[in-house]
Amino acid sequence: MEEVKIIALKESVLEDNDKDAQNLREELKANGTCLLNLMSSPGSGKTTTLLALNRAFAGRLKWGVMEADIDSAVDALTMQQAGVPSVQLHTGGMCHLDADMTRQGIRALGLEGAELIVLENVGNLVCPAEFDTGAAINMTILSVPEGDDKPAKYPLMYETCDILVVNKIDALPVFDFDRERMERYARKCNPDIEIYYISAKTGEGVDALADALVEKVKAWCK
């Protein structure tokens, strides 16, 4: 079986995560690297979406992935098998990553000249929203089976995010999911949030999301 690099993260001792995050963002900017923090509930399709994006990027970006989980290395292995440089980060039971933990991950990934590094955060809608990781883009996924009321219940997540990806739209006929209601709740949290509808499984809508990301990354790295 293929081997995946697994890193056990140490909890940050820094008091001021916001300041540390800002420093990391500036370091990355100077390096020409855009960090994207990807957050969602468990099982909403973060890894599958990244696989679909990899196909849609079609070599336009040099990119890598940091997979954060409490346990297991299945996600990093999946990404690595798809040819995306990856590292598995173990949070030691913690429900989120902060800027210092993110920095440890970027160092472990060690991807020279990366234009985009994606941090796939722990599957959780509460804690990750509270910690600035130093990312230039915060993106969240809401999958159709979770229901259209999530922005009403976890508002901070939607306030924090620049992009909302609604995944598993191929399953819309099977679930009671009201797009308008969801958008109303999401825009109440964040009027500027960009919303993309995709199915990572069928590929529907993925190209538009990939194009938007490529554009944002290139603009950041300039």
Partner 1 sequence: MSEVRVIQIHESIFAENDRTAERIRERMEKQGTLFLNVMSSPGSGKTTTLVAVINRLKDKLNIGEMDVDIQSSLDAQRVADLTGIRALQIHNGGLCHIDADMTARALLEYDTAGLDLLILENIGNLVCPAEFDTGAHKNVTILSVPEGDDKPLKYPLMYQVSDVVLINKMDTVAYFDFDLEKARERILALNPNALIFPISAKTGEGIDAVCSWILAETERVKRGA
Using the rule CB under 8 A, is 143 a contact of partner 1?
Answer: yes
Q: Name which of 14 and 74 has its Cβ closer to partner 1.
A: 74
Question: Is 43 in contact with 74 (CB distance < 8 Å)?
Answer: no
User: Which one of 82, 152, 172, 221 is in contact with partner 1 (CB under 8 A)?
Assistant: 152
Nearest-approach distance from CB 156 to partner 1, in angstroms: 7
Among 41, 88, 102, 140, binds partner 1 (CB under 8 A): 41
For partner 1, give the closer residue by CB, 122 or 136: 122
Task: Provide the token pair at 55.
Answer: 């196909």
Tell me which residues in 158-217 interact with partner 1 (CB under 8 A): 168, 171, 174-175
Are the C-beta atoms of residues 163 and 137 closer than 8 Å to each other? yes
DSSP calls for 7-64? EEPPPP--S-HHHHHHHHHHHHHHHT-EEEEEEESTTS-HHHHHHHHHHHHTTSS-EE
Phi/psi of residue 164, nearest 5 degrees: -115, 120
DSSP state of 151: H
| 93 makes contact with partner 1 (CB under 8 A) | yes
What tokens were used for 11?
């909890």
Contact between 74 and partner 1 per CB under 8 A: yes
At 47, phi and psi to the nearest 5? -70, -40
Nearer to partner 1, 80 or 124 (CB): 124
Q: Is 164 helix (H, G, I), strand (E, B) or coil?
A: strand
Closest to partner 1 by CB, 144 vs 213, is 144
Q: Which of 43, 92, 110, 203 binds partner 1 (CB under 8 A)?
A: 43
Q: Residue 127 in contact with residue 96, Cβ under 8 Å?
A: yes
C-alpha to C-alpha distance for 97 and 91, rounded to whole angstroms: 7
Backbone angles phi, psi at 149, to 5 degrees: -95, 0
* CB of 154 or CB of 220, closer to partner 1: 154
| DSSP structure class, residue 94 | -
Binds partner 1 (CB under 8 A): choice among 42, 92, 110, 203: 42
Residue 147 within binding range of partner 1, rule CB under 8 A: yes
- Output the smallest distance, CB 208 to partner 1, in A: 23
* Site residue total, partner 1 (CB under 8 A): 34
Q: Of residues 37, 86, 124, 133, which one binds partner 1 by CB under 8 A?
A: 124
Where along the sequence are the contacts to partner 1 (CB under 8 A)?
A: 41-44, 69-72, 74, 93-95, 122-127, 130, 143, 145-147, 149-150, 152-156, 168, 171, 174-175
